């Protein structure tokens, strides 16, 4: 049985939630979107920023865009990085831009961790040689 959509609400956040689409916090006081879905005897509440939910639906409803994003993500990141232009200079749907931002930030964190590790190895080798 496939998931069945039960209801959509737009409450005001009383506490902080995490956005399903962009993973960023939904701050208290902001209107957000909740989709309640039933699946195999359980209900699930999916919370998202209103604009993220809209962008997510745009992406999900556009199979070509979704596929292009999945297949082309790495080369798109390379192209953007090589261009030296900010991500905002590219005409991308918001949800794609946000996901790329996250992917780029993750990549940078990994690079930094690798650099730190290499540096620690060089230092350890120097100390061993001294
Ligand atoms: Zn969001």
Averaged over successive runs of 10 residues, the pLDDT of the chain (130 residues) comes to 84 94 89 90 88 76 70 77 80 74 80 84 84
Q: What residues have CB less than 8 Å from 37, skipping those under 6 apart? A: 3, 4, 5, 6, 43, 44, 46
Q: What residues have CB less than 8 Å from 103, skipping those under 6 apart? A: 73, 77
pLDDT at position 37, please? 87
What distance in angstroms lies between residue 29's CA and the mean position of ligand 1's atoms?
Answer: 15
pLDDT at position 43, please? 87
Count Cβ neighbours within 10 Å for each residue of 29-41 and write b for 16 or more, e otherwise.
Answer: eeebbbbebeeee
pLDDT at position 1, please? 64
What distance in angstroms lies between residue 54's CA and the mean position of ligand 1's atoms?
Answer: 10
pLDDT at position 13, please? 96
What distance in angstroms lies between residue 20's CA and the mean position of ligand 1's atoms?
Answer: 7
What distance in angstroms lies between residue 85's CA and the mean position of ligand 1's atoms?
Answer: 24
φ, ψ for residue 60, nearest 5 deg: -70, -30
pLDDT at position 53, please? 85
Paired tokens of 111? 């690079």
What distance in angstroms lies between residue 95's CA and the mean position of ligand 1's atoms?
Answer: 8
φ, ψ for residue 29, nearest 5 deg: 95, -10
What distance in angstroms lies between residue 48's CA and the mean position of ligand 1's atoms?
Answer: 5
Going 38 to 4 to 7 to 66, the CA torsion angle's sign is positive
What distance in angstroms lies between residue 31's CA and the mean position of ligand 1's atoms?
Answer: 12
């Amino acid at each position: 049985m496939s998931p069945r959509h039960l209801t959509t609400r737009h409450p005001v956040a009383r506490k902080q939630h995490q956005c399903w689409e962009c993973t960023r916090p939904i701050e208290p006081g902001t209107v957000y979107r909740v989709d309640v879905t039933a699946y195999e005897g359980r209900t699930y509440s999916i919370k998202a920023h209103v604009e993220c939910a809209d962008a997510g639906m745009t992406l999900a409803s556009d199979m070509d865009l979704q596929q292009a994003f999945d297949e082309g993500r790495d080369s798109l990141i390379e192209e953007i990085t090589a261009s030296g232009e900010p991500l905002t200079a590219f005409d991308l749907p918001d949800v794609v831009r946000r996901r790329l931002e996250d992917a780029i930030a993750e990549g940078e964190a990994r690079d930094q961790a690798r650099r730190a590790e290499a540096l620690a190895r060089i230092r350890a080798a120097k100390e061993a040689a001294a």
